[in-house]
Amino acid sequence: MKQYNYFKQEPNDPKPLEKSIFHTVRFHEMDVMQIVWHGHYVAMCEDARMALGEAFGLGYERFFEQGVLLPVRQMHLDYLSPLTYGHTYEVKARLFYTEAVRLNVDFTILNEDKKVMARGYSVQLLMDKNQQVLFERPAFYETICQAWKEGKLQPK
């Protein structure tokens, strides 16, 4: 499967962190055209992003405990082929390393034959509880990024 990169990577950046989940399309996710309503794709991507965060110690709760909010700044999806009822799809999330104080995650939704059905990305800022954008990584996140750069960050 060819990867589509929304985010530029520098030569010395570590490999993206990756996690997949699987989603079986339910009846209530269908629209009048008998395909998955476009808004449900965002929920599938968010489920994969949450699983990725939990796997690497970057879940919402961890950030909240440190007084950090993660608002979505950008969300983009390319719908390539429709998802249909009863089928199970892989939803892959990849977090890309960046020196910027944000989370860059891309998403790929694949069918059983590994055909790319949709792809996209999100960018989340890091803010304090007063909703002020952070310009430096919080200490716990900096520690995780250092382990990532050193190849020592493993999923739980």
Q: CB–CB of 7/98 below 8 Å? A: yes
Residue 40's domain spans which residues? 17-146
Model confidence, pTM: 0.93
Q: Flag whether 11 is in a domain.
A: no
Residue 12 resides in a domain: no
In a domain, 128, yes or no: yes
**CATH classification at residue 78:** 3.10.129.10
Helix (H) or strand (E) holding 75: strand 72-79
Pairing of strands 88-96, 102-110: antiparallel
Phi, psi of 16 (to 5 degrees): -60, 150
Q: Domain count for the chain, please give it.
A: 1
Is 73 a member of any domain? yes
The model's pLDDT over 5-40, given as tens digits with 9 standing for 90+, comes to 899 898 999 999 999 999 999 999 999 999 999 999
46 falls within a domain: yes
Question: What's the rounded Cα separation, in Å, for the pair 107 and 43?
Answer: 12
Rounded CA-CA distance 124/57 in Å is 16
